[in-house]
Amino acid sequence: MSEIRLIVGLGNPGREYDFTRHNAGFWWVDALAQQYSWSFRAESKFHGLVARGRLEGHELFLLKPQTFMNVSGRAVGALAQFYQIEPGQILVVHDELDLPPGGVKLKFGGGHGGHNGLKDIFSHLGTREFWRLRIGIGHPGERAAVVNYVLNAPRAEENGQIEHAVQRGLQVAPLVFSGKLEAAMLKLHSN
């Protein structure tokens, strides 16, 4: 199992989106960067904000695409291609409608479940074979309400649950960095 070299947090750029459910991926990579005192810099050739550092003996990149969610793949593809990072060495952190607020799951491959950010990453990488850390935001109950739901801030009690999911995801981060993703899954999914 190869180690993770790139962690991508999905979200929308701009202050008006900072606290929306769709930005749960940004929240996670921000918390990770803060934990290791890494700072993000705008890198136009990667269409995003990039932080880099060394962990567990290897270089790791954090990426927050600044292209808007639906075209996240442009940023992911550009950075992965430039640094010759294989899809299996990428972890994409994103909001997940199919998990309740507070739920967090790690998985490899699979479908996009209607998530436009993942859809675009599939098309730019040419594969679904990458890791995802799915942060539960819950579902509004009906399909027609999804867009409005993800582009709004969570209610106070949901916010606390989502923050808890972010923290649980951070607890398994060292296992993820060292390529022990099966162990990370076991730890995360047995809590």
12 is in an annotated binding site: no
Nearest to 103 by CA among 130, 142, 134: 134
Active site residue 22: yes
The neighbour count for residue 180, using CB atoms within 10 Å, is 17
Question: Catalytic pick from 22, 47, 94, 115?
Answer: 22
* Integer Cα distance of 72 and 104 in angstroms: 21
- Residue 160 contacts by C-beta under 8 Å, 6 or more apart in sequence? none
Cβ neighbors of 61 (< 8 A, separation 6 or more) are 5, 6, 7, 50, 51, 52, 79, 83, 85
> How many Å apart are CA 137 and CA 55, to the nearest integer?
29
Q: Is 159 annotated as a binding residue?
A: no
The set of catalytic residues is 22
Q: Which amino acids are annotated as binding site, given as ranges?
A: 17, 68, 70, 116
Q: Which amino acids are annotated as binding site for tRNA, given as ranges?
A: 17, 68, 70, 116
